Amino acid sequence: MEPVITDCTLCPRQCHADRTRGQGFCGGGGKVKLARAALHFWEEPCISGKKGSGTVFFSGCPLQCCFCQNYPISCENYGAEIPVERLAEIFLELQGQGAHNINLVSAGHYAPWVAEALRLCGDKLSIPVVYNSGGYESVNTLRLLEGKVDVYLPDLKYADQERALRYSGAADYFPVAAAAIREMVRQVGLPVFDKEGMLQKGVVIRHLVLPGGMKDSMSVLDWVARSFRPGEVLISLMSQYTPFYRSREFQELGRRVSTYEYNKVAGYMMDLGLTQGFMQERSSAKEEYTPEFALQGVFAPASEEKRDHC
């Protein structure tokens, strides 16, 4: 059964849209909308593994970051609407192709549809479900997915309020994301790996180092170190920033992150004792790692496309 949302408060924007009649701030309407569903090989090693992550890109996003590399779907809402029954079929098709997990990218504004699709899959879906998020999430919405999501993969983009407002239009980003991440950890607990090193449960906090953002990056890492015991969460420090979308409207974002900036943040992370996780190679900041959003796998069975970066 299709969820019916007439007063939408699923995301922190609390826009109260009647999604049976139109779109909310995020771009979400009355049916789930997807841009891509395919095996994905460029997430963290414990997510992609050798066979790929069964990644489902949902259209729209409540953040609208000026530097989003996936802006055709997140900001321009590219995609196609499908019934919730088809979403469940896609999950099972990706599992049938050998995916290590089902990887839900920016799914928060479709959480009730995701919950229903997972219910329809039932015991047929036997691989972990990964919730891949910009971090700007409502705790109440996350609780709709409790017991259904095994791995949370949130960004923690900023600690600084002014940067969050300037780049993502969300002055409340940090307190909202911090509360969301605490809820994610409460739900799934400590990281658990299988014998092949694939993550089965746990939280991986991603942080993308931005040009000119060393101080803010260090503040983000300070919060993680204060908030969680060693090993309670994994950290993924990313160097892949590339000027995309509207980033060149901001002079300070019109370049890639320097090796000096990234290494300083990486060294600070080590000094804090945040040693469990991943660091991205500097070569990751390339446009060719960005996915092409054809409607792959939405109406037809999903298949591997060009390998892209997370």
Measured distance CA(28)–CA(17) in Å, rounded: 9
Buried b (16+ CB within 10 A) or exposed e, 102-111: bbbbbbbbbb
| The pLDDT of residue 248 | 87
What is the tens place of the pLDDT at every residue in 225-254?
999 999 999 999 999 999 989 998 999 999
For the chain, the residue count is 310
CATH 3.40.50.300: does it fit domain 32-289? Answer: no
| The pLDDT of residue 132 | 98
| The pLDDT of residue 298 | 46
Bridge partner list, 205: 235
Q: Is 65 annotated as a binding residue?
A: yes
| The pLDDT of residue 229 | 96
Measured distance CA(94)–CA(56) in Å, rounded: 9
Higher pLDDT, 308 or 163: 163
Bridge partner list, 73: none
What is the tens place of the pLDDT at every residue in 180-189?
999 999 999 9
CA-nearest of 27, 129, 23 to 73 is: 27
* Whether the Cβ atoms of residue 95 and residue 126 lie closer than 8 Å to each other: yes
Measured distance CA(63)–CA(172) in Å, rounded: 11
| The pLDDT of residue 283 | 55
> Above pLDDT 90, what percent of the chain?
87
| pLDDT at residue 119 greater than cutoff 50 | yes
Average pLDDT over residues 161-169: 97
Q: Is 68 annotated as a binding residue?
A: yes
Q: Which range, of 13-17, 125-129, 272-276, 279-283, averages the lowest pLDDT?
A: 279-283
Domains of the chain by residue range: 32-289
Q: Is 66 annotated as a binding residue?
A: no
Other beta carbons within 10 Å of 171: 14
The most confident of the ranges 42-46, 98-102, 254-258 is 98-102
Average pLDDT over residues 198-224: 98
Average pLDDT over residues 81-88: 97
| pLDDT at residue 197 greater than cutoff 50 | yes
Average pLDDT over residues 259-271: 96
Higher pLDDT, 310 or 78: 78
Higher pLDDT, 234 or 1: 234
Buried b (16+ CB within 10 A) or exposed e, 256-283: bbeeebbeebbebbeebebeebbbbeee
CA-nearest of 141, 163, 114, 146 to 14 is: 141
Other beta carbons within 10 Å of 284: 15
Measured distance CA(158)–CA(217) in Å, rounded: 7
Q: How confident is the model at residue 282 (pLDDT cuts 50, 70, 90)?
A: low
| The pLDDT of residue 1 | 84
Q: Which range, of 78-92, 143-157, 279-293, averages the lowest pLDDT?
A: 279-293
The 3-state secondary structure of 140-194, one letter per residue: HHHHCCCCCCCEEEEECCCCCHHHHHHHHCCCCHHHHHHHHHHHHHHHHCCCEEC
